[in-house]
Chains A and B, each alone.
Chain A
């Protein structure tokens, strides 16, 4: 008995399960407060730091004409949109990761598992290498093509895994996603093979992910899509909890499993597409952030989902800060930074869970 108690105590100490004992409302409030303050603080401080030091007071001094105020230009045109893009993309990818992991009932799924990013990348490659000039509103040709590619990939995977009023097969989803990833990657290589050197360099740079969006208009394009996805996300967590236990019993506990799967797939694909169109396929956020958050707050999706969105924003803005300051004036691609931080963490996670 003593050994059992000791084992239990040791287990309790090593796990976040004591957190799960408090009532959900109190936990949710605390989580939103802590992660919210962290995200706001990061987004407020990050624009002030960079390879060129700027004076905040001078930047906001309205007596100096904007055209002559270099500090204001750096702050408002270079850094602020970049930080906001980082926050938006980080939040979108981290929360899409949570939703895909619940949908596929697989904690190792990422927003890119189902081929959305490969489709987006192929679209972007085609425009970068073959050229294209179609632009719609705030959407310039490359993001637009990337969005179209992502939509195509999602439509293919969805139609393969889905029957009329039938529960989606997670196995088919996964296999279709993996296959589509490989297929699109091959097409990307083929397109690059046909291209000349400078185009390939530009294409490769896009694939590394980049938050340097130079101005607010790309944000204006991506924001509505991510807001719509977030609105759908907000309706899902309780149903995702039950589907994470068992899809069959979720149904007997009042969850419309088919509808939940469809909304989850649509919203997570939408958020991922918008994020990739805005900043390229920045990897590892969709898996590192949700797992880190689960270590801290437990696995209840009602808490994990908003916490991951907020922490995703913090994490990517932080990584981008490293990317633009660590080797200044040379910038490290932000996707390289997230991979260097995320890769080892992910391996540690695999070993730990195995």
Chain B
């Protein structure tokens, strides 16, 4: 095994319990989940609604502390790192972004520099250069002066990804980054992510409902159901008709598509 594929981001026996307001009983969103993500890999996170994907991403970002177990990045416990320190290593791209104020695209991207700024919290020429680099990498540099809210869904998502890149993270966590996009923008964002993972050596973990998207982009899959780990391994091993039936109660045809060069999933019928 080459050093490049040594486990890098590791969750060990991670559980998380939400405590609903005013109640003492707690509901487990995740229980005993262990997984490891190699450096430079692209991991897909699959599972039905409410299975704990978003919770797992938040724990892997270090923005929430697990109730038990731990998430480590290169051996360091993420939840114990100061917020700014953790943000210098792990960035998150949410499903969609609705700013309350009319920021420009450049302002949104420059905010990715927040964890790197000094005491005065003012970015300098170097931060500006990094932001422009991120705009170029996502093909959005011509939008820099535009109002973020005036952009199309695909443009917005590319700008948000640029902001995450400006954060200069080692790991990029994506929470259904293409869910609110039409087919054209889905492919656009997908190819952007694949290219960024390759060129910038960013380790990516993406939660998604889109099995075909996961099959085309991810070299490993993590499957969750009811807060528990159902499967974890190379895409070709995990993505099977049996797995789709187990997850979604759907009979599907899973086969390798010669033209696309990856597995494809065609849902056939609902299992009653």
Which residues of A come within 8 Å of B, CB atoms? 8, 11-12, 15, 17-18, 20-21, 23-25, 28, 101-102, 105-107, 163, 237-238, 241-242, 244-246, 248-249, 251-256, 294, 298-300, 302
Contacts and interface: CB of A to CB of B under 8 A. Distances in A.
Contacts of A15: 102, 147
Contacts of B144: 21
A252 B97 contact: no
Contact of A20 (B98, B106, B111): B106
A299 B103 contact: yes
Interface of B: 21, 61, 63, 83-88, 90-92, 94, 97-104, 106-108, 111-112, 114-115, 117, 121-125, 128, 144-147, 150, 160, 167, 173
Nearest to A163: B21
A287 to B, nearest CB: 14
28 contacts: A8-B146, A11-B150, A15-B102, A17-B104, A20-B104, A20-B145, A21-B144, A23-B123, A24-B122, A25-B122, A107-B100, A238-B117, A242-B111, A242-B114, A244-B100, A244-B103, A245-B100, A245-B103, A246-B94, A246-B97, A246-B98, A248-B63, A248-B94, A249-B92, A252-B90, A252-B91, A298-B104, A299-B107
Nearest to A169: B21
Given A28-B122, A107-B100, A254 B146 contact: no
Contacts, number: 106
Given A20-B107, A106-B100, A163-B21, A251 B83 contact: yes
A306 to B, nearest CB: 12
Contacts of A106: 100
A132 to B, nearest CB: 38
Contact of A253 (B97, B112, B147): B112
A217 B88 CA distance: 49
Contacts of A24: 122-123
B117 A299 contact: no
| Most A Cβ at <10 Å: residue of B21, B90, B101, B125 | B101
A285 B100 CA distance: 20
B57 to A, nearest CB: 9
A8 B145 CA distance: 10
A65 B97 CA distance: 66
Contact of B99 (A238, A244, A256): A244
B203 to A, nearest CB: 15
CB-CB nearest 5 A-B residue pairs: A254-B87, A254-B115, A238-B121, A252-B92, A254-B84
Contacts of B117: 238
Contact of B83 (A238, A244, A246, A255): A255
A146 B66 CA distance: 44
Contacts of B97: 245-246, 249
B106 A21 contact: yes
Contacts of A11: 146-147, 150
Nearest to B148: A245
A315 to B, nearest CB: 21
